[in-house]
Amino acid sequence: MLFTATRRQLLLLAIAALAFPMANATTINQLIIGTGSVTGVYYPAGGAICRLINKNQPQRTIRCSVQATEGSIANLQALQAQNINLAVVQSDAQLAALKGIEEFASTGPNSALRSLFSLYAEPLTIVARQDAGINSLSDLPGKRIDIGNPGSGDRSTMELLMRAEGWKADTFAQLGGLKGAERAQALCDNQFDAFIYVVGHPSGTIKEASGNCDINLVPVMDDAVKQLLKQHPEYTTAMIPGRLYRGVDDDIPSFGVVATVVTTESLPEPVAYAIVKAVFDNFEQFKRLHPAFSSLDKKRMTEQGLTAPLHPGALRYFKENGLIK
Ligand code: GLU
């Protein structure tokens, strides 16, 4: 009797186990968004996007999580390898991956790349120790500088500036390749005279540096930069606002890119639509999630820096909401 009951129970359990997933046949889409170093702006930006996605779909069929990464170049490689589904990347890196140039010359064009929307401007930012006496680009040769880790957009854009200026590795007393989260401490420990960051403002890394030692931001504008801007329309002049960091009261001129959110054509249309809707329907809330988002503008976010075709899900949302024709 006992034996029979147990067998019946087991049978019922087995039927329930089989029937359960069929009764709840909704697919869960696990989304991983590749960002950057934890003290940059990509990481909290990814967190803000995921938070809105996870909160704002009634069916809860999408679960978004954030991954800290080496930065733009690494994110685009991970997207192509399908290790992540979404990424925050610099607009110049997006273009390079789409065309298969620069760091992407060996892998070739990624025709599956799709853009969703762009975010804020990322000026090339040179943070120097005040005692290093770096007040313009011409003071940089002979100094110890950190140009960022391989895989970061920082390093990639700085290498372009170095080519434009005619600088080589041996132009500098030392050339480092630290991750974003390591740069502030290395600067304040006097391991470097300056570090590069292509980043939105304010950024955690630069706040950390300015809080722990005396810094200045170096204006990034001279004839070579003006020439670079003429040859590369993907870059524009960009101002780093004053009064965001201790000791930096004036606006600092530079050039830069915009941060963009990209995916691939394999992301299902309704999922891309839901992602864009979560951010754009809750825009005021989104803007409050990071100070670098405060001046975001919906219309600009549908066009700036997006060289990869818009994902059809994003396109549908933008059309439905009159953001594009
Ligand atoms: N622009 C940097 C990169 O592409 C990352 C900046 C950030 O993490 O906010 O690697």
Ligand 1 centre to CA of 58 (Å) is 32
Tens-digit pLDDT string for the chain (325 aa): 444 445 555 455 454 444 444 434 467 789 999 999 999 999 999 999 999 999 998 788 999 999 999 999 999 999 999 999 999 999 999 999 999 999 999 999 999 999 999 999 999 999 999 999 999 999 999 999 999 999 999 999 999 999 999 999 999 999 999 999 999 999 999 999 999 999 999 999 999 999 999 999 999 999 999 999 999 999 999 999 999 999 999 999 999 999 999 999 999 999 999 999 999 999 999 999 999 999 999 999 999 999 999 999 999 999 999 999 9
Binding site membership of 315 for ligand 1 (Cβ less than 6 Å): no
Q: How far is CA 92 from the centre of its chain?
A: 12
Binding site membership of 71 for ligand 1 (Cβ less than 6 Å): yes
From 126, 147, 197, the mutation candidate for ligand 1 (largest count of ligand atoms within 8 A of CB) is 197
Q: Quick check: pTM over 0.85?
A: yes
Q: Can you tell me the distance from the alpha carbon of 59 to that of 117, in angstroms, rounded to the nearest whole number?
A: 24
Q: Can you tell me the distance from the alpha carbon of 128 to that of 187, in angstroms, rounded to the nearest whole number?
A: 8
Give the domains, in start order, of the chain with CATH numbers.
5-120+260-320 (3.40.190.10), 122-257 (3.40.190.10)
Task: Kindly give the interhelix angle for 180-188 and 204-212, rounded to the nearest 10 degrees.
Answer: 10
Q: Can you tell me the distance from the alpha carbon of 187 to that of 273, in angstroms, rounded to the nearest whole number?
A: 42
Task: Kindly give the interhelix angle for 269-281 and 312-320, rounded to the nearest 10 degrees.
Answer: 40
Question: Is the Cβ–Cβ distance between 257 and 157 less than 8 Å?
Answer: yes
Beta strand 252-264 with 86-90: parallel, antiparallel or unpaired? antiparallel
First-to-last CA distance in the chain? 72
Query: Phi and psi for 153 in degrees, rounded to 5?
Result: -70, -25
From 161, 199, 203, 258, the mutation candidate for ligand 1 (largest count of ligand atoms within 8 A of CB) is 199
Which ligand 1 atom is at minimum distance from the Cα of 41?
9
Ligand 1 centre to CA of 260 (Å) is 11
